[in-house]
Structure 1
Amino acid sequence: MSAELSVQLYSVRDALAADLPGTLDRIAELGFSNVELFGFVDRVDEYRTALANAGLTALSGHASIAEGDAERALDAAAALGMRTLIEPMIRHGWETEHGVSAIAARLGQIAAQAQPLGLEVGYHNHTWEFESDINGRNAFDVFAERLDPAVVLEIDTYWAEVGGASAPALLARLGDRVRLIHVKDGPRSTDAAAQQPAGAGDMPVKEILAAAPDAVRVIEFDAYAGDIFDGIAQSLRFVSGQAS
């Protein structure tokens, strides 16, 4: 069975700001059935209507829960029928063992809150989790060991590589704890505007997909110098052809 495909709507944030229903229609026209939301907590009714009209399902969404209003975000995610609510970024705390343990514990608490709502909670990485050293190991590996099994992972494969990790090796090591992966390509640079459609850059995208055969493939661009909808369409074609 092929893994599910999705797209992080942050990629089209400018279009969404101008015309949310029209943007979702364009995403559906590209061939997507699933999306990953951001900034949805204050727009539940608007998203519910627009998603239904476009024939799209919000499998997952990003919202600040570890340091924000977790209860409100969980309620919004449940109202939109999501499967996974993901903490997109925790910037500080990765420098020490105590800090890493505290982050893991907080996410475990939120996962317990989410369970009665039929939701799972996840974490999405950037570069710093791999750049921080905890007793000779990167902070992300320490975090994964201490994380409640109820908390799932969304590996941003691009930022993991930029942070110094091998994304295929990381995915193989984490196994089915990884429910979703962000698929993007480019020159392994912190310059987000240099990102390219999947298959057009330096990232080992084929190996990444093979290492996480069951994870939802979430196409994303943090930025793109060309037409973003064309870039997403190119990524979708590549990933669809490589899906397990």
Structure 2
Amino acid sequence: MSTPQLSVQLYSVRQALEADEDAALARLAALGLTSVEAFGFTHRADELADALARHGLSARTGHAGFLSPDGAPGTDLDATFRAARRLGVEILFDPFVPASRWADEKEIARTAALLNEAAERAAGHGLRVGYHNHSQEFVHTVAGVSAFDFFVDLLNPEVALEIDLFWAAAGGNDVVALLGRLGSRVRALHVKDGPVIDDPFTSGAPFDPADTGQVAAGHGQIPLAASLAAAPHAEYAVIEFDHYDGDVFEGIATGISYLKGKGIA
């Protein structure tokens, strides 16, 4: 059993980063963080790497969309992987495959094949890759199991998973049982709390993150402590908010205190 490293997904503070990147990173560093999870970096890896270094931060994990075929943005795999390595990323997760691609068995198999191919090419860059869930992956049933479980069974062993606990619960899962099924594939967790909501991504209605009701870790209905215990192979525990009512840095600080209380730093 390993103790995961504490981190924060920079998407949580995206507005602050847009307003003043250095000030936002300085606030994160002042909270005692040394690790962050990067996003939106493929076009500015040098700039972001320099900014992180100025504040004693590193990005050991990152998010980039590399599973969109047919020439969609982000599908230049080698360029994406070079950008990730410039930041020092060790595991790069694709953060979102649209709901329409989880309703069809062939599309799920194609997504798995794309990820397996990406894993092979990433290895040449000294990089691991994986997938980060939301809730749409769990809505449909394929061959008697959820679309996500079907997908995971098609992945090569070297492919990692980052389980977002809030979104996994929104997908109708007992998240502790899910983590038990996935076992050593789970290499990172998004430690995200709030109410257990219904999946919003297959409803057809516009998604508003403000409707998720997310709260600081330890203050919602997601079984975070049991989930952390159920993921002994997780290397990273990543705090994230899609939306937070109030000062998001205070929400992050509360999450840090919660995780430190569980021995995660």
Structure 1 gaps, min length 5: none
TM-score w.r.t. the length of structure 1 is: 0.96
Deviation for aligned residue 1:80: 1.2
Distance in 1 between the 2:209 and 2:173 partners?
18
For 2:189, what is the secondary structure of its paired residue? strand
- 1:63-97 deviations in whole A, cap 9, x for unaligned? 11011322221110011111011101011321122
For 1:93, what is the secondary structure of its paired residue? helix
For 2:122, what is the secondary structure of its paired residue? helix
One of 233, 239, 243 as aligned partner of 1:223: 243
- Answer whether contact 1:213 1:243 (CA < 8 A) is retained: no
Q: Which amino acid aligns with 1:37?
A: A
For residues 65-84 of structure 1, the aligned pairs below 5 Å read: 65-67=66-68, 68-69=74-75, 70-84=77-91
Q: Which amino acid aligns with 2:86?
A: A
Q: 1:32: which partner in 2?
A: 33
Q: Which amino acid aligns with 2:119?
A: A
Distance in 2 between the 1:166 and 1:206 partners?
14
Number of matched pairs: 244
Deviation for aligned residue 1:192: 3.6
Distance in 1 between the 2:263 and 2:97 partners?
30
Work out whether 1:180 is the aligned partner of 2:199. Answer: no
Distance in 2 between the 1:242 and 1:213 partners?
13
Q: 1:116: which partner in 2?
A: 124
- 1:104-132 deviations in whole A, cap 9, x for unaligned? 00001011110011100010011111111
Distance in 2 between the 1:48 and 1:118 partners?
18
Distance in 1 between the 2:221 and 2:163 partners?
18
* Structure with the bigger percentage of helix: 1
Deviation for aligned residue 1:13: 0.2
Deviation for aligned residue 1:98: 1.3
Distance in 2 between the 1:89 and 1:2 partners?
26
TM-score w.r.t. the length of structure 2 is: 0.89
- Answer whether contact 1:152 1:178 (CA < 8 A) is retained: yes
CA RMSD of aligned residues (A): 1.3
Distance in 2 between the 1:243 and 1:221 partners?
21
- Answer whether contact 1:187 1:202 (CA < 8 A) is retained: yes
> Structure 1 segments of 4 or more deviating over 4 A?
none
- Answer whether contact 2:183 2:233 (CA < 8 A) is retained: no
Distance in 1 between the 2:91 and 2:142 partners?
29
Distance in 1 between the 2:225 and 2:7 partners?
17
Mean CA deviation greater in 62-71 or 195-204: 62-71
- Answer whether contact 2:39 2:64 (CA < 8 A) is retained: yes
Q: 2:167: which partner in 1?
A: 159
Deviation for aligned residue 1:167: 1.1
Q: 1:212: which partner in 2?
A: 231
For 2:245, what is the secondary structure of its paired residue? coil
Deviation for aligned residue 1:136: 2.7
Structure 2 gaps, min length 5: 69-73, 201-207
Distance in 1 between the 2:144 and 2:153 partners?
15
Mean CA deviation greater in 83-92 or 8-17: 83-92
Mean CA deviation greater in 93-102 or 225-234: 93-102
- Answer whether contact 2:35 2:59 (CA < 8 A) is retained: yes
For residues 1-244 of structure 1, the aligned pairs below 5 Å read: 2-67=3-68, 68-69=74-75, 70-91=77-98, 92-189=100-197, 192-193=209-210, 194-215=213-234, 216-243=236-263
Distance in 2 between the 1:34 and 1:101 partners?
33
Taking only the aligned residue pairs, the percentage that are identical comes to 48
